[in-house]
Amino acid sequence: MRLFEYQAKQLFAEAGLPTPRGAVANTPEEAAAAAQGLGRVVVKAQVHVGGRGKAGFIKLADNPEEAAAHARRMLGAELKGYTVHQVLIEQALDIAKEYYLGAVLDRDGKQIVVLFSTVGGMDIEEVAATAPDKLIRLAPDPLVGPQNFQLQEMVFQAGVDPKVFRAVVSAAATVWKLFQRYDASLVEINPLVITGAGEVVAADGKFEVDDSALYRHPELERFRQAGDEDPLEAEARKRNLNYVRLSGDIGIMANGAGLAMNTMDVVAAHGGKPANFLDVSGGARADVVRSALDLILQDTKVKGVFINIFGGITRGDEVARGVVEGVKQLGVQVPIVVRMAGTREEEGRAILREANLVPATSAADGAEKIIALLREKGA
């Protein structure tokens, strides 16, 4: 889950890291109200992309009317494919310096690294490319976390103004703490602003939380917004189904994440394009299968479904009955191929055949059959 800038800043502020005064607005009127009493403000579009400044989605305003005018222009507009639904109105900063501070999961190094640079404001990739010596990296022991002296050394190496040294070190410690506490994959403050008065302020914020860890953070629910998540994936979560929407036209259902991935691979290897990943887990009962099939078919791209169930605990006749019942109840129009292996597979296949569904004997056989059926229909 990616947080918006204003949400990231909320977490920063709660952790004691200074952020500019301000509020989020959904309408130009709200923007004007938020700007009231703040003097000069900055109007910032809340979208999940960077480079807003250059694109004209960060604007200074001298009074509430101007703030409303900027908000009116930004709200509903598109930036790199994202529609702006909210703007953040903040007291403008007296910027003396812009630093960069971040923590990111380094997948190659299998560890979290803290990054700091006195060259902030621009893309950190650009700093890394043009002035690599200006980007200081700290890879602390993940279990112990960065020791204060390590953070001090990092900030010292970067060469910050001694007046803000302690505040920057403390900001770095906070970033690490937040990263750990929320199971983040990225926390970034760019720029970390040093004001004319020598304060250290988080002027921007990026925060990404590992989706697999979200169940451990019910306190982040408040940041979830309608329309944030794919509607089908949200529905799947409600139904306790493990579903990821993809771009193809062949719906996939399997029991077990490994088998689901393998089924996608087999379909792809035979020239088909999976429309989703869906794992109905262990004992796929009829009601679960029906619910899963219903979900898959809500994706209007789906032109056919391949169900791959490996039995054991899962009974083939149960699965077959679930599919048949589901197909009947849902009024399914698209071809469905089912491969079942394991307990009572013969009984299962008989039930399928009776209902005019297509049984397959192996994953490869199933993939070939569903692809052939789609071609037939397409022709």
Interface residues toward ligand GDP, by CB under 6 A: 42, 50-53, 58, 92-93, 95, 98, 121, 190-191, 203-204
What secondary structure does DSSP assign to 71-111, as a single string? HHHHTT-EETTEE---EEEEEPP-EEEEEEEEEEEETTTTE
Q: What is the DSSP letter of 281?
A: -
How far, in Å, CA of 221 to CA of 232, rounded? Answer: 18
Give catalytic status of residue 347 as yes or no: no
Which neighbouring-strand residues pair with 248? none
Give catalytic status of residue 100 as yes or no: yes
Token pair 């999940």 is at which residue? 48
How far, in Å, CA of 123 to CA of 128, rounded? Answer: 9
Shortest separation between residue 42's beta carbon and Mn ion, angstroms: 12
Tokens read off for 117? 């640079």
Residue 204 or 345: the one with the smaller Cβ distance to Mn ion is 204
Residue 190 or 291: the one with the smaller Cβ distance to ligand GDP is 190
* Helix runs in 299-378, H state only: 316-330, 345-354, 363-378
Residue 20 or 64: the one with the smaller Cβ distance to Mn ion is 20
* Cβ-based neighbours of 372, under 8 Å, separated by 6 or more: none
Q: List the beta strands (DSSP E) in the chain.
A: 2-3, 22-25, 41-45, 58-61, 78-79, 82-83, 87-91, 95-106, 111-117, 135-138, 184-195, 200-202, 206-209, 242-245, 250-254, 276-279, 304-310, 336-341, 358-360
Shortest separation between residue 226's beta carbon and ligand GDP, angstroms: 24
Which neighbouring-strand residues pair with 45? 87
Token pair 């299998």 is at which residue? 110
Residue 204 or 318: the one with the smaller Cβ distance to Mn ion is 204
Which one of 6, 100, 182, 243 is the catalytic residue? 100
Which one of 5, 30, 66, 188 is the catalytic residue? 188
Site residues (CB under 5 A) for Mn ion, limited to 188-247: 190, 204
Shortest separation between residue 125's beta carbon and ligand GDP, angstroms: 13
Shortest separation between residue 177's beta carbon and Mn ion, angstroms: 21
Residue 121 or 322: the one with the smaller Cβ distance to ligand GDP is 121
Shortest separation between residue 279's beta carbon and ligand GDP, angstroms: 37
Is residue 46 a contact point for Mn ion (CB under 5 A)?
A: no
Shortest separation between residue 229's beta carbon and Mn ion, angstroms: 24
* Helix runs in 131-225, H state only: 148-158, 165-181
Q: Which stretch binds Mn ion (CB under 5 A): 59-67, 142-150, 168-176, 183-191?
A: 183-191
Residue 51 or 258: the one with the smaller Cβ distance to ligand GDP is 51
Please give the single-letter amino acid code of residue 369. Answer: K
* List of residues contacting Mn ion (CB under 5 A): 190, 204
Which residues are designated catalytic? 100, 188
